[in-house]
């Protein structure tokens, strides 16, 4: 940072006294894959202890039920972990939302479980960048805020969910509830290695289409059967034909089938849509609805579509542009060149933006190769990004908003 360049400097310099790296490593040593309920419970407890240094209330909230279509067509519920929520100064006139996730993509039996130093300041480990390092940055920024002169001028809610990596199905309504009435939101997904932030994001929708046909003997009376596998394959080809600029369509998997001597009466097609805009999303939904009905009629069988667009597209509207501008300005005062660009990836920032709240959703550490065994964290970015977040929040507090 530049010497004596802005009034918050003395407070921000205290970031070097915080255990940013130590707690990141401690949290990352515990596997917290989205399906590892024991690991998630352990990490949730660790986070609750860590965030208890802040004033206000901390709760661990039970997840909402989440439905899933099994390979045999049954729709049942999936267990998810608890979500952490902290609330500080709920009476404040200016309030913001900070979000993160404690889950990772690495299952309890995944071989990627260890933390190693690749070179000085470059660490490889599960969840270091995505996003236990980001959670440490979030907490650090709030710790600095609470030591500042403007702390009393701003309130905030913190939400750290346990299911972001699998679509936030059990926390989506909680995000919507907490976003209500907020001035702005910050989410702690990792920035790119060079510090570039994610700007606009496309949306994402996941669907499971169940086909129920009629079984018959493949030799004696095949024409009396209704082949669910063929219907699913036909649907996959027609869906792929919808793929265009602004709408990615990925038929990903077909479950079902039968022995070679039987007409298969059951199949499930899994498909993902990535619309760039709300108009693209509406077009995709309409096309999907029509195709489901057309396939049922033409193949003379039953179809049922299960799923939704759980992550709406996230455009950069004027308020979001204003928040990005503030982050860029704060970065410049810290000697950082902050830029952003659009991405096809999705996160809880999509859900927050859909509530009409401006959000910057890559306020976490600099890192890369996330969702792979090559995931890495640039350790120096812990202090850098903590100071960036803290200064951004302080400026929102001092200005009474954006």
Over residues 66-86, the pLDDT tens digits come to: 999 999 999 999 999 999 999
Q: Are residues 276 and 330 in the same domain?
A: no
Q: Is the pLDDT of residue 4 over 90?
A: no
Residues 208 and 173 in one domain: no
Answer whether residue 4 is part of any domain: no
* Cβ neighbours of 322 (radius 10 Å): 13
At 5 the pLDDT is 78
Rounded to the nearest integer, the mean pLDDT of the chain is 97
How far apart are alpha carbons 247 and 253 in whole angstroms? 19
Whether 109 and 244 map to the same domain: the answer is: no
- Between the CA atoms of 107, 110, 115 and 116, what dihedral angle is there, to the nearest 10 degrees? -150
Query: Do 74 and 185 belong together in one domain?
Result: yes
**89 and 180, same domain (yes or no):** yes
Residue 357's nearest CA partner among 222, 183, 120 is: 183
pLDDT-above-90 percentage for the chain:
98
Does 393 reside within a domain? yes
Q: Are residues 356 and 282 in the same domain?
A: no
Flag whether 81 is in a domain: yes
Query: How would residue 19 be classed by pLDDT, with cut points 50, 70 and 90?
Result: very high
What does the pLDDT read at residue 3? 45
In a domain, 1, yes or no: no
Residues forming beta bridges with residue 207, ordered by sequence position: 271, 307
Task: Select from 251, 279, 311 the last residue of a domain.
Answer: 311
Determine what percent of the chain is predicted with pLDDT higher than 70: 99
CATH no. for residue 269?
3.30.70.360
Distance, CA of 366 to CA of 376 (rounded, Å): 9
Q: How would you class 285 by CB atoms within 10 Å of its CB: exposed for 0-12, middle for 13-18, buried for 19 or more? A: middle
Task: Say how many domains are in the chain.
Answer: 2
Task: Please write the tens of the pLDDT for every residue from 285-303.
Answer: 999 999 999 999 999 999 9
Give the residue from 311, 331, 355 where a domain finishes.
311
Any domain includes 2: no
Tell me the C-alpha distance between 302 and 267, whole Å. Answer: 11
Let me know whether 35 and 165 are in one domain: yes
Q: What is the C-alpha separation between 227 and 214, in angstroms, rounded?
A: 7
- Write out the residue range of the structural domain in which residue 236 sits: 204-311
Report the distance separating Cα 271 and Cα 265, nearest Å.
20
CATH number of the structural domain spanning residue 162? 3.40.630.10
224 plus 147 within the same structural domain: no
Check whether residue 333 and residue 273 sit in a common domain: no
Q: What are phi and psi of 233, to 5 degrees?
A: -65, -40
pLDDT-derived band at 27, boundaries 50, 70, 90:
very high
Does 85 reside within a domain?
Answer: yes
Supply the pTM of this predicted model: 0.95
Same domain flag for 182 and 233: no
The whole-number average pLDDT for the span 242-260 is: 98
Mean pLDDT score, 295-317: 97
17/164 same-domain check: yes
Residues 209 and 347 in one domain: no
> Which domain-ending residue is among 311, 328, 350?
311
d(CA 399, CA 227): 64
């Amino acid at each position: 940072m530049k010497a004596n360049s802005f009034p918050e400097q003395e407070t921000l310099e205290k970031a070097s006294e915080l255990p940013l790296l130590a707690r990141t490593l401690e949290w990352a040593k515990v596997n917290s894959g989205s399906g590892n309920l024991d690991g998630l419970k352990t990490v949730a407890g660790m986070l609750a202890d860590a965030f208890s240094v802040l004033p206000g209330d901390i709760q661990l909230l039970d997840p909402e039920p989440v439905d899933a279509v099994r390979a045999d067509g049954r729709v049942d519920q999936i267990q998810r972990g608890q979500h952490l929520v902290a609330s500080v100064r709920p009476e404040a006139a200016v309030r913001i939302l900070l979000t993160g996730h404690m889950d990772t993509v690495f299952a309890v039996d995944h071989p990627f479980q260890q933390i190693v130093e690749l070179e000085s300041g470059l660490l490889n480990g599960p969840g270091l960048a995505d996003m236990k390092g980001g959670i440490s940055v979030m907490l650090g920024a709030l710790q600095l805020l609470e030591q500042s002169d403007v702390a009393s001028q701003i309130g905030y809610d913190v939400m750290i969910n346990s299911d972001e990596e699998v679509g936030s199905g059990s926390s989506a309504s909680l995000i919507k509830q907490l976003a209500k009435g907020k001035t702005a939101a910050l989410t702690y997904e990792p920035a790119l290695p060079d510090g570039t932030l994610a700007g606009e994001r496309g949306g994402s929708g996941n669907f499971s289409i169940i086909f129920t046909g009629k079984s018959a003997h493949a030799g004696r009376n095949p024409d009396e059967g209704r082949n669910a596998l063929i219907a699913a394959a036909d649907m996959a080809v027609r869906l792929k034909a919808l793929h265009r600029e602004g709408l990615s369509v990925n038929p990903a998997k077909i479950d079902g089938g039968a022995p070679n001597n039987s007409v298969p009466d059951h199949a499930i097609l899994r498909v993902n849509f990535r619309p760039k805009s709300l108009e693209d999303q509406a077009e995709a939904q309409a096309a999907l609805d029509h195709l489901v009905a057309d396939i049922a009629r033409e193949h003379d069988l039953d179809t049922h579509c299960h799923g939704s667009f759980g992550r709406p597209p996230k455009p950069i509207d004027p308020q979001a542009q204003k928040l990005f501008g503030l982050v860029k300005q704060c970065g410049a005062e810290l000697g950082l060149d902050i830029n952003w660009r659009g991405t096809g990836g999705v996160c809880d920032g999509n859900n927050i933006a859909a509530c009409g709240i401006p959000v910057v959703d890559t306020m976490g550490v600099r890192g890369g190769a996330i969702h792979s065994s090559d995931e890495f964290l640039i350790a120096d970015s812990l202090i850098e990004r903590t100071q960036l977040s803290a200064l951004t929040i302080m400026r929102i507090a001092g200005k009474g908003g954006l």
